[in-house]
A and B are shown apart, each in its own frame.
Chain A
Amino acid sequence: DSGVTQTPKHLITATGQRVTLRCSPRSGDLSVYWYQQSLDQGLQFLIQYYNGEERAKGNILERFSAQQFPDLHSELNLSSLELGDSALYFCASSGHGGLNQPQHFGDGTRLSIL
């Protein structure tokens, strides 16, 4: 058990819809990261938050957005969903941004777009 909690585990929705994925980091971790893993691609880094502020951006689409709340949990919002957005979405957390602490991953949310 990594200590990172993601909900829901599975999500099935239709094209054009909007969903919100939630992540609770390990106790004490200030950084939260979001990744996407599609069948035909590896783990792609989307975005990082550190103590409520956006720290780094990767290959995140404009239709996607994220935020980190004062209690440090984070949400990833995906809108105008397309079939290609079907993927596993992982959240990870680490202790201190920029200090090379390893990231610890949750079990992911499997998003299926019908």
Chain B
Amino acid sequence: DAKTTQPPSMDCAEGRAANLPCNHSTISGNEYVYWYRQIHSQGPQYIIHGLKNNETNEMASLIITEDRKSSTLILPHATLRDTAVYYCIVGRDNDMRFGAGTRLTVKP
């Protein structure tokens, strides 16, 4: 079973920031938080990952709470092409269990 809890769906207005939450209260000290997204039936696309510090790359920012029990993925300026299922995964390299994810719909 996935070790994370995500809302099943969210909407976001185009051009606004999309903030996707994830709860992972049972995360252990050596487990990372990974975010992926899947657009329609394409292969999951890696977005970002982190251990305890906040991370930012060209796609998104990852904010991890100090107790590491939850995190938020931020897409700073959502576009229609960001409509996808977003997966938050807690694990290590060979133990990544995908849950149902959050279906983000970006609306014009």
**Could you list which residues of chain A lie within 8 angstroms of chain B, going by C-beta atoms?**
2, 4, 31, 33, 35, 42-45, 48, 55-56, 88, 90, 92, 94, 96-108, 110
Contact = CB atoms under 8 A, between A and B. Distances in A.
A105 B100 contact: no
B42 A107 contact: yes
B93 A90 contact: no
A2 B95 CA distance: 20
A34 B42 CA distance: 15
A31 B43 contact: no
Interface residues on chain B, size class: 20 to 34
A2 B43 contact: yes
Given A42-B100, A43-B98, A45-B97, A4 B92 contact: no
B32 A56 contact: no
A101 B94 CA distance: 10
